Amino acid sequence: MRKLIFAAFLSSVAFAGNAQAALNVFACEPEWGALASEIGGDKVSVYTATTGAQDPHQIQARPSLIAKARNADIAVCTGAELEIGWLPLIAQQSANAKLLPGQRGYFEASSFVQLLEVPTRLDRAEGDVHAAGNPHIQTDARNILLIAKPLSERFAELDPPNAAAYAAHYADFAKRWNAALAKWSAEAAPLKGVPIAVQHAGWVYLFNWLGLKQVVVLEAKPGVPASSGYLAQVLDTLAHQPAKMVIRAAYQDGRASEFVAERVKIPVVVLPFTVGGTDEAKDLFSLYDDTIKRLKDAVKP
């Protein structure tokens, strides 16, 4: 009986906490859900639409997502066409005009950073090409800070009574994040110039940040599984330009990377890619802790 009463008490506390939240946040990806929680604190209730085990390109507009979007005050998403296959449908089906592009309830993280790999020619025959540029901005930890301040300002705009709280949360986060960036920079120093193979060309921001050198991609076209003939070309490339590892995101099928790694005798490094991608990547800070640790472990003598 005591256990039942205690459980009911906890449920009532949780419900009360949610009821007090001033903003309902619909986060498209785990990294933005985690950032929204850092900036919003107890003033926001955050629902994250995807997990670290899912490909953010390939999400279905499920009824549960539509229901959550219906009550959202703001959608915090990557943009740059990452969610183009599912978010517009969710916004439409939820009948929540706040979440439509151009509205203050739509926050596009990619609009606050310099996008890389912007194509000079658009041809869908070339695979999964994003017209605005590579959307995987969260793989560079420096970008998180560029997005955090505008997010705090957007929260304050939507919820003026709690503007001071959002500003204070941002200031605290920025202080801790800058300290973490300095730590990560020192820890990742041995990775500079290390040659690597990648399963999917989604890591340009990570390379810019840590100085890794991409030798070859295991896809002839972005998002298109490699043929056996193309993988033979990859092996030939690696015979002439050896790599220290093959990296892939935790949500990706590992068969191609395992095939190549086994034949050239290098390790496969599975990176979390986002919060929750691995057991160790529990929040934004541990996301990058785990990413750097996994990369460093692969180059240890």
3-state secondary structure the chain: CHHHHHHHHHHHHHHHHHHHCCEEEEECCHHHHHHHHHHHHHHEEEEECCCCCCCCCCCCCCHHHHHHHHCCCEEEECCCCCCCCCHHHHHHHHCCHHHCCCCCCEEEHHHHCCCCCCCCCCCHHHCCCCCCCCCCHHHCHHHHHHHHHHHHHHHHHHCHHHHHHHHHHHHHHHHHHHHHHHHHHHHCHHHCCCEEEECCCCCHHHHHHHCCEEEEECCCECCECCCHHHHHHHHHHHHHCCCCCEEEECCCCCHHHHHHHHHHCCCEEEECCCCCCCCCCCCHHHHHHHHHHHHHHHHCC
pLDDT, tens digit, for every residue of 36-87? 999 999 999 999 999 999 999 889 999 999 999 999 999 999 999 999 999 9
pLDDT of residue 155: 98
Query: Residue 54 contacts by C-beta under 8 Å, 6 or more apart in sequence?
Result: 251
Average pLDDT over residues 152-170: 98
Mean pLDDT of the chain: 91
5: exposed, middle or buried (Cβ count in 10 Å: 0-12, 13-18, 19+): exposed
198 DSSP β-pair partners: 217, 247
- pLDDT for residue 13 is more than 80: no
- Domains present along the chain, CATH in parentheses: 2-183 (3.40.50.1980), 189-299 (3.40.50.1980)
Q: Average of pLDDT values for 237-248?
A: 98
| For the chain, percent of residues with pLDDT exceeding 70 | 91
108-119 per-position pLDDT tens digit: 999 999 999 998
The predicted pLDDT at position 7 comes to 43
Mean pLDDT within 160-176: 98
pTM above 0.75, yes or no: yes
